[in-house]
Amino acid sequence: MRNLLALFAIVLTLFACQNEPKDYVSLSGKITNPHDNNTLRIFQGKDYEKIITVNEDGTFSDTLKVEAGDYSFKYGDEYGSLYLKNNTVSSFTLDYEDFDNTIAYEGDDADINNFIIKFYLLGGESFPADLFNDGKKEDLDKAINNYKTGYENLKLQYATVDSLHLANTGNDIPKTIRSVERYFNSKLALREAFPKGSPSPVFENYENFKGGTTSLSDLKGKYVYVDIWATWCGPCKREIPSLKVVESNYHGKNIEFVSISVDDGRGYKEKTIEASKDGWKKMVAEKELGGIQLFSDKAWQSDFVQGYKITGIPRFLLIDPDGNIVTADAPRPSNPKLVELFEELEIK
């Protein structure tokens, strides 16, 4: 009987140990086409941070002691979100080259995490770039209705999501709509302020990466596709591969591709124009950027930038061979609409 009681006590002890809550969350996953940076940063404002090493094959695995809540993560130049709590196992996979569209969560609380990313993507799907580039008021109204309907369908798809996250996303709906309406109206005002065929603002004697200076007047007789960008701008850099393809396809044709940097010290330790210029030269060389690479004379305060009322980047412009505006808000290189526009203009 004594041996039987001892065995029973051991079994109870093991069972208790197996069911004891863990004071951490186990997080793992895999990143396809990983970035050169081998660290994954998990953070929550300034209150929490954990750096996880990403292996050469893109896999990662670690444990984190957290307070239950929503966290952010940063990998390379991209950001994502995670709901984490202790005593759970979570994972996610993604392709860095198509970050937003490939994030997929598994494990505990996967429903919350997948709901949040789907909610984020719903905005982009409901309000595409074409809406702002050439949409009318009735197009905006239709997009807003689709956005609301899409959200209701998303709630049905993820019926197990907790009330707190539903309340948070529900509160975001009217905020997003107000932001979209403001942005749409600003784009509409931009189209009205720079009508097709009106004289383009000009730039003069901007420093050319290849040496000397270049002015808009030097390019007269050709279409000019202008990319306003900066080395610290993530969305700008994401357009580089597409811009290279378009440049290559139109090499030798009646168009010049001009990239103008408005770097002003941001993102550099010394925060000076000279430091920015050195960083610009380094990036142009390392990424083998094509076209005509120019450095604006006064960054955001340059006459050309101010003339086009540029307050955010990237911004793309198209100017005709006579120096007149085709569009002050041209499609991005990654947008098929750009090539369609070139074809309409019979650029060859």
CATH number of the domain within which 278 lies: 3.40.30.10
Q: Which DSSP helix (H) or strand (E) runs through 282?
A: helix 273-286
Same domain, 214 and 340: yes
Tokens 């004289």 correspond to 199
Is residue 340 in a domain? yes
Give pLDDT tens digits for 194-227. 999 999 999 999 999 999 999 999 999 999 999 9
Is residue 201 in a domain? no
Are 317 and 330 in contact by the 8 Å Cβ rule? The answer is: yes
Is residue 268 in a domain? yes
| Lowest-pLDDT range of 16-30, 128-142, 155-169 | 16-30
Same domain, 23 and 58: yes
Pick the last residue of a domain from 48, 73, 105: 105
User: Could you tell me the residue range of the domain that residue 7 belongs to?
Assistant: 1-105
Same domain, 318 and 214: yes
Are 116 and 81 in contact by the 8 Å Cβ rule? The answer is: yes
Are 255 and 222 in contact by the 8 Å Cβ rule? The answer is: yes
Same domain, 167 and 117: yes
Pick the last residue of a domain from 49, 73, 105: 105
Is residue 198 in a domain? no
CA separation for the pair 204, 310 (Å, rounded): 17
The answer on pLDDT for 130 being more than 90 is: no
Same domain, 295 and 324: yes
Residues listed for the chain: 348
**pLDDT in the model for residue 18:** 55
Same domain, 327 and 245: yes
CATH number, domain containing residue 2? 2.60.40.1120
Alpha helical stretches, state H, 39-162: 99-102, 110-126, 129-134, 137-157
**pLDDT in the model for residue 19:** 62
* Selection from 198, 188, 254 nearest residue 222 by Cα: 254
Tokens 């955001």 correspond to 300
The percent of residues in the chain predicted with pLDDT above 70, rounded, is 95
Same domain, 214 and 308: yes
Same domain, 115 and 181: yes
Same domain, 34 and 65: yes
Identity of the amino acid at 336:
P
ω into 314 cis (within 30 of 0)? yes
Domain count, the chain: 3
Same domain, 186 and 64: no
Give pLDDT tens digits for 16-65. 445 678 999 999 999 999 988 899 999 999 999 999 999 999 999 999 99
Is residue 211 in a domain? yes
CA separation for the pair 108, 87 (Å, rounded): 9
Is residue 199 in a domain? no
Is residue 55 in a domain? yes
**pLDDT in the model for residue 301:** 94
Same domain, 186 and 216: no
Pick the last residue of a domain from 105, 132, 149: 105
Are 105 and 117 in contact by the 8 Å Cβ rule? The answer is: yes
pTM of the model: 0.65
Same domain, 93 and 129: no
